[in-house]
Amino acid sequence: MKKGFSRREFLRSMSAAGFGAFAMSAIKAWGLEAITNPLAVYPERGWEDAYRNLWKHDWKFTFLCAPNDTHNCLLNGYVRNGVLVRIGPTMRYGEAQDLEGNRVSHRWDPRICQKGLALTRRIYGDRRISGCMVRSGFKRWVEAGFPRQASGLPAREFFNRGRDQWVRVSHDQAATMVASALKNIAETYSGEKGAALLKAQNYDQEVIAAMDGAGTQCLKFRGGMPLLGITRVFGFYRFANSLALLDQHIRAVGPEKALGGRGFDNYSWHTDLPPGHPMVTGQQTVEFDLSAVEHSKTILVWGMNWITTKMPDAHWLTEARLKGAKVVVIACEYSATASKGDQVMVVRPGTTSALALGLSHVILKERLYDLEYLKQWTDLPLLVRMDTLKTLKAHEVFGTAPSPLSNQTRVLAPGEKEPPPGTQREILISQELRQEWGDHLWWDTSAAVCRPLTRDQVGARSTVGEALLEGSVEVKLADGSKVRCRPVFDLIKQYVEHFDPRTTEELTWAPAREVEELARHIAKEPGTTLFALGMGPNQFFNSDNKDRAVFLLAALTGNVGRIGGNVGSYAGNYRVALFNGSPQYINEDPFHIQLDPSKPARVRQYWRAESAHYYNHEDHPLRVGRKLLTGKTHMPCPTKAMWFANANSILGNVKWHYNTVVNVLPRIEMIAVNEWWWTASCEWADIVFGVDSWAELKHPDLTASVTNPFLQVFPRTPLPRIFETLGDIEVLALVAEKLGQLTQDQRFKQYWEFVREGKTTVYLQRILDNSTNTKGYSMEELEAKAREGIPALMNSRTTPKAVGFEQVTDSRPWYTKSGRLEFYREEEEFIEAGENLPVHREPVDSTFYEPNVIVAPAHEAIRCSRPEQYGVDPGDLSSETRCARNVVKDWRELKASAHPLASKGFKFIFHTPKYRHGAHTTPIDTDMVAVLFGPFGDLHRQDRRSPFVTEGYVDMNPLDARELDIQDGDYVWIDPDPEDRPFRGWEGNQRDYEFSRLLCRARYYPGTPRGVTRMWFNMYGATPGSLEGQRSRADGLAKNPRTGYQGMFRSGSHQSATRGWLKPTLMTDSLVRKALFGQSLGKGFLPDVHCPVGAPREAMVKITKAEPGGTDGKGLWRPAQMGIRPGYESEEMKRYLQGKFVEGEKEA
Amino acid sequence: MRCARGVCMVGERDRARWLIFLALGLALAGGCRDRPQPSGSEIVMLKVEQLPASPEDPAWQKAPEHVARLLLQDIVEPRQLKVTTAELRVRALQDGKKVAFRLQWKDPTKDELPGPGKFLDGCALQVPAEAGASLPAPQMGEPGRAVEILFWSAGWQAMAEGRADRLQALYPNAWVDHYPYEAPALRGNPSSQREMENLYLPARALGNHRAGPRSSAVEEYLAQGPGTLTPRKNSGSHGMGKHNPEGWSVLLTRSLPRSRYVALAVWDGAEGEAGGRKMRTSWIALRETQPPPR
Amino acid sequence: MARVNNWQINREMAYWYPEKRPRRQFAAVFDINKCIGCQSCTLACKTTWTSGKGQEYMLWNNVESKPYGFYPLAWDLKLLQMLGPQRWEGARYIGQTIFEAAPAGRRVRGWQPQERDYAYPNVGEDDCAGLLDKGLGLHVPHTAWFFYLARICNHCSFPACLAACPRGAIYKRQEDGVVLIDQSRCHGYQECVRACPYKKSFFNPLSGTSEKCIGCYPKLERGLQPQCFLNCIGKIRLAGWVSPPSQADPENPIDFLVHIKKVAKPLFPQFGLEPNVYYIPPIHVPTPFLKQMFGPGVEEAVNTYKRAKEDPDLQALLCLLGSTERLMARWRRQGEWVVGAADDGGEIVRVPLKEPVYVRPAFDQRYEIARVNCP
């Protein structure tokens, strides 16, 4: 008998079976059927049904995913056992049609992204809001009848925000509390008595005066980015309008005197507005649908991380490139999009205006500009008086009245009422403004006379001939006096001379040669270059200078207003005017409610708009020394109550967040939030209304986009509500109803009649019928299509949309005084600021040099008000003063200067761009998305210190980190200007400082130049609760034990270093701009068009090592230890990088 | 040394020494392990009234110990080419119907948590399915000549002892936002919830015995050659393992086999052993015997 | 060991089982120049197939930034090291494959990832080779560079996982060449995890078995492209069937790109598995790295892609990617349009090479309203 058995024996015994011997490993014992080769056969495959079964779904439905990313994707939801298990694209965008049957192609499919695919985590996850919650202290305050101190402020013991307990209540109870709080607060601050209390609370006189005695004016509302829900989100402004009824009840005033609440801005609040666009074009923004790149030859992707922020439309860029378009990427790092560039320039942050001027310099110097275009479309030939620095007007020379207008501009007779915005065809101006502006003049060199130029005379109608562009002339005025004038062209050319290629290289870091070549390339074929600017340059203080300079470059090369040659600004989705019939809904007159669904509403606006940047600035206007720099039309009111939806950005992710929660919130008496996901805003709120997710909407809604041609419906969905939630719009109706009960006024309830009847479509159809590009569509049909996953096309003038197309094609005037692209700003505020010319100003904080300096040599047209004139010490560089500190230096002087904190180690620019892993309403905080965010994702959380399965980190140039003894993956402290950040008064307030100071990982990132550090935006910051969770939970998660809020930082956030910045040129009462809706022109403040935008990318920081990056603080972070990280490469890794593992040899 | 000698003398039916051995054995139970002489060729199955329920039962002291030197599994790929666990100490008790084995071996690391690159400690006992003169190949038998295998895994032991069937049982700090089968729609409906859970774990849906969760630390198999290991219905066998700083002590109980030969195998998870990568014995004879009369 | 013929390395090589090609081989082309690293593919796969217990860490589809991105950590670096000198003689690989380099006692040369190697699945995201400093001006090829590498199971013609499985529980489907791990037979020995050079076989600690990409066979069986293809918004992916070079068919879109234009290349052909995902290499990356990763034909591929502006067929086919969920076994260009078709030539989808521009009248007489771009 054989007991032992060797390999040799085994093989011998098997050799009989020949090759089959090796297949022994696959003999099936239970059937003795030999699988000689699983490449060829496998006997029992019934098990495969297991995956077929997993693939199955019971039914599917369509819903619209619309975070503020401009894409708006109709998605299919797949349901199994009543659970939404999976999401996918509808693949039917290629069937979208307009009213005439024009169609786009399936190249628009698929539309979805990883955040949309992961929505199930957000709809079902532990932070999903499953009902209504009220802060226990607030509940007690309401139940106690709103007890107040002598100053009028509520007693402190009721306001332990961020640390308090939460109580679950019904929507009905919550609505009652909100209604009674709104009423009580409005009553408290109405009239003389109210004004006195506000004075006692140290509000600015101007701010108190702006109330006009109406307590309702200190109630602030915000439907975040209303375009993302034209009834659901915009409804908050309708609610604000209805508060005129409350004002009537409180002050016993009639409709003519009654005032509603205040509505915060959106596009400008998000620093998405490019504020120079209205300065040049007179309207909100110029942009083009992204598919337009198909029709251009060169695409300048400028401070825009296109492939990470415009993901479903990134293929247009890569496909245009494939087909031969040149892609030029200008960024302050080797960005994701840089990896798709044919040419890449890495520049210094916040110097875009200088770079555009540098490019213009080459074009002007070498006379490569499109002369015809600038004569037809720009103010460059217009004369400017050197005595007043105002443009020379026809009546000053000829004594004549402004000439009549006939080219698509209509002057309204005094008292004539404007037609509804949607129906307006011509540009409308009041008689008064027409008189004020008059006509301009240009100098005809052939006849040596100056000739008038009206706003009619643009494009083909332009009469500008042999115009004087360079040099100056003496012009004889009607009164006989003479005045020396220079054309705008000449003033600008002289200024731009400063930005020669070498200076441009030193200032912007863009290599001189590259600048010259690029300038010549753009000028070579006018009208074939698309300038796609992103959020990067937009988020610096000098944003308006950037726009004005870029437009100059674009205009010089004939690249404004053409399908294949245009300027675009890409940040946020904002143009509510795409539904310019919206006033039908938001401004329905609450005193004359239209209950007949077949009739249009009667419109009257009782609410007032306000820039949230004042709330962000502690409810103060900008005062520097003796000077008040906030215009009357911009003046804010105190913020006493806030109710918002779809908008974590107004509180949880607010710029200067920690100053807001520590120094601003204590003066606000009610904060109510509509949400479906527990955000940092909820952490700091008093009342949270749990609302439907997009997948559960029971009321349809509309949206559209500035980057694609689609008109989109949020269809009602068959998915039953998963938790105790209501639609946002139902919550509005409910609170209104409660106000009605409290005031015995039925109109509150009637105002939302069609919502309560489940006929929201009535409001939507009114909007469609009264909007320029949607009239002709039926809401029912649109929704039916949407349920099938098919959107419609906007009937805009063109598809793809291109702002400026009508101007260039129909010789239609721009929305400016002259009807032309205006590069010279003659208004007092601009002259004072030294920005009557498109200048470059250094960033207000993020610069290695003296901040906010106007970079200019001596120039006769730059005569700004200097600090002394405002009564401040020229040496005062404090953040606040800096905002209006007009100091002129040429590059040579500036180069020798330094940032005031440089000597104290604050030597890193800290900027916070958006990234692929998060969008406004879908941040980087669901497990599956988070774990793929950056280098520190780990679902198993081996390192207990990690606040979540990923965490915030700062990107540093490895050489910078080394100098500070910071290793890759280490934890670091990031400290901004200690004067006022993370919040004023942090010294001596350890309780708040401990969750406010930014602590995060550092990553060695070779893609950023030295001195420039980056932290991605859209992370959830630390709160007292997240810090408590991290300390008390066994697993160390930064999760609030009371609310489940999940922080992604151990302490602080990307907003620890930001602050509220106010720029004087964005607060004028004189800038001319088109109304938000329709074609009429006006002046001064306009939300989302002419108002402050802040500067969230401005911060110089100090970085210090906190803890080693190795697991639980021991040693090096493992990937660095392994030698596979930048700066830590092992010999093998170096070989790998050089491709040396393969020994290719020369083919003989 | 002496106790070790004692062991090898058991084979030599010397009554006096046997008593000494017992005494020493009791005194040094589980203690002295160094280099016993080969035990000859047999494992003695001592007859008892009742089989012990634990590897720590004092009853084991009565049973003689067989020390088996372990061989490499170097017959089929993937082969074990490095000696890890050198020897295995075996005792056996039987009650006429069932036989209980106690396997003991050195292994300071307790490998009971599964994971990528993490392997589990285990042991197995193999007998020819048929009694007969010629034995099947000791490495998993051969076509037409099946072997019965009883396999114990440290991972199964931990599950049997109640390790939770959730990620955090393996990674205490892990966080997961959501599993589809945890959605409110399924709450209060455990069966469809379970069905839904298994959808995402096909191995479980298909009843793969490896897919846990389970209450038994052992599994019975048939095999007719390498790669043919196939589970079979449990015929009343069970197992229990205890770990101490020195190593494992595992009880394996099964019905008395028809054949009187047994082969054994040990896996050391820390050494990355699994499947064919193991230390094993060749066939060892089993002999029934009565306890020595007092 | 048997001898098989691997056309990607232009020679015979040793393999555990004799050569047997399926009736049809699932294959894919990924255009790296269009990949935006958005991870939609990753999430599409994860939410469909691996949302269960023990699968949390598992990414059947992942996207990593090369050169510093690895999932699992250092996966390809380690294998390149183990494999020793890898020499090509023209298009013929004369170094060792992982089968030929198998150590004693094993069927394949590979390494066993530890659980911590799966941490940081997107490490190196957007990290570039080459330190940046101010004043950079780059032109193709970039001196500082990275690119996105989207990876799924390659459903190889000579799978290492299949060769290494001691239970023969891994097999290749004859009807489509998809490689599967039989979840009812797998015992979780992790031999396949160790053997797969691409590390696309994963051990599930809670199911005790190894799991891998299934090529979405429930979809393939219905004539649909897999989830990671459908959800690819970079529109870089094309699923279909690849023929052996000798039977290349220009009307088969995969063959056209792989065999006719030779613009798409396999990942690490020197490993010897004949992987069936073919990559259009990134044109901005220096050649040596690309050669190491995609083999010697890579220069030609890059040049062909750079010249696409003069090649309407190549343009057309690459614009067709991602325009339909259905499998396109055939394609044809018709002037300014390109058509994706089914096996029988029946049209599935038709798209233009350039999206149309529509200009509407400034005033819409029918609805009596202006149509403007600046409302």
Residue B98, helix vs strand vs coil: strand
**Are the Cβ atoms of B138 and A4 closer than 8 angstroms?**
yes
Q: Are the CB atoms for C231 and A110 separated by under 8 Å?
A: yes
Chain B residue with minimum CA distance to A27: B228
C interface mutation test: which of A340, A1142, A1146, A1147 has the most C CBs within 10 A? A1142
Which has the closest alpha carbon to A816: A407, A283, A421? A283
pLDDT digits (tens, 9 = 90+) for A790-841: 999 999 999 999 999 999 999 999 999 999 999 999 999 999 999 999 999 9
**Are the Cβ atoms of C129 and A1137 closer than 8 angstroms?**
yes
Tell me, what amino acid is at C57? Y
Residue A1147 has pLDDT above 50, yes or no: no
Select the residue of C44, C120, C291 nearest A937 (Cβ to Cβ): C120
Residue B91 has pLDDT above 50, yes or no: yes
**Using CA atoms, how far apart are residues C194 and A175, in angstroms rounded to an integer?**
60
Which has the closest alpha carbon to A1038: A946, A950, A1111, A1113? A946
Provide the β-strand partners of residue B54.
Answer: none
Pairing mode, strands A482-487 and A473-476: antiparallel
Burial of residue A288, with CB atoms counted within 10 A of its CB: 0-12 exposed, 13-18 middle, 19 or more buried:
buried
Select the residue of B192, B222, B227 nearest A25 (Cβ to Cβ): B227
Residues of A in contact with B146 (CB under 8 A): 29
In which band, very low, low, confident or very high, does the pLDDT at A1145 lie, cut at 50, 70 and 90?
low
**Using CA atoms, how far apart are residues B161 and B214, in angstroms rounded to an integer?**
10
Distance of CA A1073 to the CA centre of its chain: 21
pLDDT digits (tens, 9 = 90+) for A966-977: 999 999 999 999
Select the residue of B137, B181, B229 nearest A5 (Cβ to Cβ): B137
Evaluate the omega torsion of the peptide bond into residue C286 and state whether it is cis, within 30 degrees of 0.
no
Mean of pLDDT values over A994-1002: 98
Q: How is A116-150 classified by DSSP, letter by letter?
A: HHTHHHHHHSTTB--SEEEEHHHHHHHHTT--B-T
Which pLDDT value is given to residue B289? Answer: 81
pLDDT digits (tens, 9 = 90+) for A506-565: 999 999 999 999 999 999 999 999 999 999 999 999 999 999 999 999 999 999 999 999
Q: Chains with 3 or more CB pairs closer than 8 angstroms to C?
A: A, B
**Are the Cβ atoms of A3 and B173 closer than 8 angstroms?**
no
**Are the Cβ atoms of C128 and A334 closer than 8 angstroms?**
yes
Select the residue of B74, B170, B176 nearest C205 (Cβ to Cβ): B170
**Using CA atoms, how far apart are residues A947 and A1031, in angstroms rounded to an integer?**
11
Tell which C residues from 41 to 100 touch A, by Cβ distance under 8 Å.
Answer: 42-44, 46-49, 51, 56-57, 67-68, 70, 73-74, 76-77, 80-81, 83, 85-90, 95
Residue A2 has pLDDT above 70, yes or no: no
Residues of C in contact with B118 (CB under 8 A): 114-115, 205
**Are the Cβ atoms of A50 and B202 closer than 8 angstroms?**
yes
Mean of pLDDT values over A747-756: 98
Q: Does A82 reach chain B within 8 Å, measured CB to CB?
A: yes
Contacts of A1138 (CB under 8 A, 6+ apart): C288, C289
**Using CA atoms, how far apart are residues A1027 and A525, in angstroms rounded to an integer?**
58
**Are the Cβ atoms of B117 and C189 closer than 8 angstroms?**
no
Q: Does C167 reach chain B within 8 Å, measured CB to CB?
A: yes
Residues of A in contact with C356 (CB under 8 A): 102, 104-105, 799
Select the residue of A7, A83, A1036 nearest B75 (Cβ to Cβ): A7
pLDDT digits (tens, 9 = 90+) for A701-751: 999 999 999 999 999 999 999 999 999 999 999 999 999 999 999 999 999
Chain A residue with minimum CA distance to C123: A935
Which pLDDT value is given to residue A1018? Answer: 81
**Are the Cβ atoms of B197 and C107 closer than 8 angstroms?**
no
Residue A284 has pLDDT above 70, yes or no: yes
Residue B5 has pLDDT above 80, yes or no: no
Select the residue of A5, A27, A84 nearest B225 (Cβ to Cβ): A27
Mean pLDDT, chain A, rounded, equals 95
Tell me, what amino acid is at C152? I
Tell which A residues from 693 to 732 touch B, by Cβ distance under 8 Å.
Answer: 722-723
Residue A254 has pLDDT above 90, yes or no: yes
In which band, very low, low, confident or very high, does the pLDDT at A100 lie, cut at 50, 70 and 90?
very high
Q: Are the CB atoms for C247 and A80 separated by under 8 Å?
A: no
Largest CA distance in chain C: 84
pLDDT digits (tens, 9 = 90+) for C43-85: 999 999 999 999 999 999 999 999 999 999 999 999 999 998 9
Q: Which of A16-25, A999-1008, C203-212 has the lowest mean pLDDT?
A: A16-25
In this prediction the ipTM stands at: 0.94
Scanning A539-660, the segments in alpha helix (DSSP H) are 543-556, 583-586, 612-615, 657-659
**Using CA atoms, how far apart are residues A580 and A767, in angstroms rounded to an integer?**
8
Residues of B in contact with C189 (CB under 8 A): 274-277
Which pLDDT value is given to residue A10? Answer: 57
**Are the Cβ atoms of C187 and B210 closer than 8 angstroms?**
yes
Tell me, what amino acid is at C125? E
Mean of pLDDT values over C107-120: 97
Tell which A residues from 929 to 968 touch B, by Cβ distance under 8 Å.
Answer: 939-942, 944, 948-949
Tell which C residues from 96 to 115 touch B, by Cβ distance under 8 Å.
Answer: 104-107, 112-115
Q: What percent of chain A has pLDDT over 90?
A: 95
Q: What are phi and psi of C319, to 5 degrees?
A: -80, -15
Q: Are the CB atoms for A1124 and C73 separated by under 8 Å?
A: yes
**Are the Cβ atoms of B166 and C105 closer than 8 angstroms?**
no
**Using CA atoms, how far apart are residues C175 and B220, in angstroms rounded to an integer?**
36
- Residue A902: HSE in the Cβ half-sphere, 13 Å Cα cutoff: 13
Q: How many angstroms separate the CA of residue A78 from the nearest CA in chain C?
A: 10
- Please give the angle made by the CA atoms of C51, C55 and C59, to the nearest 5 degrees: 90
Q: How many angstroms separate the CA of residue B204 from the nearest CA in chain A?
A: 10
In which band, very low, low, confident or very high, does the pLDDT at B133 lie, cut at 50, 70 and 90?
confident
**Using CA atoms, how far apart are residues A66 and A119, in angstroms rounded to an integer?**
11
Mean of pLDDT values over A933-957: 97
Residues of A in contact with C182 (CB under 8 A): 42, 44, 47
Residues of B in contact with C188 (CB under 8 A): 114, 210, 274
**Using CA atoms, how far apart are residues A255 and A249, in angstroms rounded to an integer?**
11
Compare B56 and A1019 and report the one with higher pLDDT. B56
Q: Are the CB atoms for B131 and B258 separated by under 8 Å?
A: yes
pLDDT digits (tens, 9 = 90+) for A399-441: 999 999 999 999 999 999 999 999 999 999 999 999 999 999 9
Scanning chain B, the segments in alpha helix (DSSP H) are 2-10, 15-27, 154-160, 167-170, 190-199, 202-205
Q: Does C210 reach chain B within 8 Å, measured CB to CB?
A: no
Burial of residue C224, with CB atoms counted within 10 A of its CB: 0-12 exposed, 13-18 middle, 19 or more buried:
middle
- Residue C184: HSE in the Cβ half-sphere, 13 Å Cα cutoff: 12
pLDDT digits (tens, 9 = 90+) for A634-660: 999 999 999 999 989 999 999 999 999
Tokens 């459908």 belong to which residue?
Answer: C230
Tokens 């209950």 belong to which residue?
Answer: A595
